[in-house]
Amino acid sequence: MSVEDRPDPTPADGDDEAAGPFERWVRDTIRNPEKAYKAMFYTALIFFLITTLFPLYWLLMVALSGETTQDVGLLPRGFDPGLLLEGDLTMGAEPGVFVNVFTVVPFHRYMLNSFVLALVTTAIVLLVASLAGYVFGRLQFKGKTPLLLLILVISFFPPAAFFIPLYQLFNQNITPFGLTPPELFNTPAAMFLPFSALFLPLSIFILTTFYSQIPDGLEDAARVEGTTRLGALFRVIIPLSAPGVATAGILTFIAVYNEFFFSFLMTDGGPENWAPLVEGLIAYQGQYRIRYDLMAAASIVGVLPVAILVVVAQEKIVSGLTAGALKE
């Protein structure tokens, strides 16, 4: 049977008129697949926006509803636009809760602790990962592949596996090699040291990918001018790999800023002992009552620095994560 003799799969106009709305939409989609792609894209986009933004919206409603959480719906409890005509600019909501989060407990100190811990950990991770990434990305030596696999395996270890020995070590309960370690419990070192170890593998892999793509000629030219390998790393390789360095730094900063497990167990919860942001949220829970409105408002305030950082550096994050996806 020739091509001309085959029946036309496109239904006639009369069939479309007799079909129902859904059947007509299906037939139209078969003729024009682009409509199906757009429908799937917008469905996935709406689903993503609802699942990611609705928790923040609900936190805002709980925060603006006052001390009780009863009758909290899609609008704050007691919200009435008619109150605006009576001079009530809050319209029944309680925006003052965003000020109270800093007066009931020193929440700003908890935020500062998390910010400093994230900043110090990011600096340590970038320094060590840059050296390791340079070795793995630009040098050839025996055991390179097994070492990379070992780092990959370690990166999947659960943090709980490290907690007990580290807790014993930081409280001077064990003496490795006969040496008594310094007591680090309730100090920032008890947190940024394990943070650095936990988040280092990801940065090593990101920077290894970037450093391996730098042409050897650029580094050779720098060394001909008299710089050392270390000098070429910091003067040539790292500046040319700025998206990768920025991506590794941002991902590390966000992960440490939101970390809870080690932070909760390595401090007693006091802001003066470097307790982080999550400890501040728990501080609104008293013996007889829980201030959900303050916890919700503090959660929104605490997430703002990370949200601003992601918005400002979104291009660096995307370019860094997609680098190496295409082989040229």
Each residue's pLDDT tens digit, 243-293: 888 888 888 998 899 888 888 888 888 888 888 888 888 888 887 888 888
Vertex 313 angle, CA 308 and 314, to 5°: 100
CA–CA distance, 248 with 151 (Å, rounded to integer): 16
The pLDDT tens digits for 156-194 are 888 888 888 888 888 888 887 777 878 888 888 888 888
State pLDDT tens for residues 192-206. 888 898 889 989 988
At 27 the pLDDT is: 79
Tens digit of each residue's pLDDT (9 = 90 or more) over 82-134: 777 777 777 777 888 899 889 988 999 999 999 999 999 999 999 999 999 88
pLDDT of 327 reads 45
Summarize pLDDT for 304-319 with one digit per residue, the tens. Answer: 888 888 888 776 666 6
Task: Place 44 in a pLDDT band, splitting at 50, 70 and 90.
Answer: very high
Q: Is residue 5's pLDDT more than 60?
A: no
User: 57 to each of 75, 224, 291, how far by Cα in Å?
Assistant: 10, 58, 18
Count of Cβ atoms closer than 10 Å to residue 277 Cβ: 27
Q: Alpha-carbon distance 174 to 165, whole Å?
A: 9
Q: What is the CA radius of gyration of the chain?
A: 28
Nearest to 111 by CA among 246, 268, 306, 286: 306
Q: Looking at residue 298, what is its pLDDT?
A: 92
Instruction: Show the tokens assigned to 303.
Output: 């997430």
User: What's the one-letter identity of residue 257?
Assistant: Y
